[in-house]
Amino acid sequence: MKVYEVTLNGKQYSILEKMLCSVRARQLAGNQIINGAELLHDMIDDIFVRLKLD
Question: What is the secondary structure of 1-53 as a DSSP string?
Answer: ---------HHHHHHHHHHS-HHHHHHHHTT----HHHHHHHHHHHHHHHHHH
pLDDT at 17: 74
Give the SS3 label for residue 54. Answer: coil
| pLDDT tens, N- to C-terminus, the chain (54 residues) | 666 677 878 888 787 777 676 777 777 777 777 777 777 787 787 777 777 776
Give the alpha-carbon dihedral of 2, 20, 17, 9, to 10 degrees: 30
pLDDT at site 54: 61
- CA dist 26 to 17, 23, 29, Å? 9, 5, 5
Q: What pLDDT does residue 1 have?
A: 61
pLDDT of amino acid 13: 79
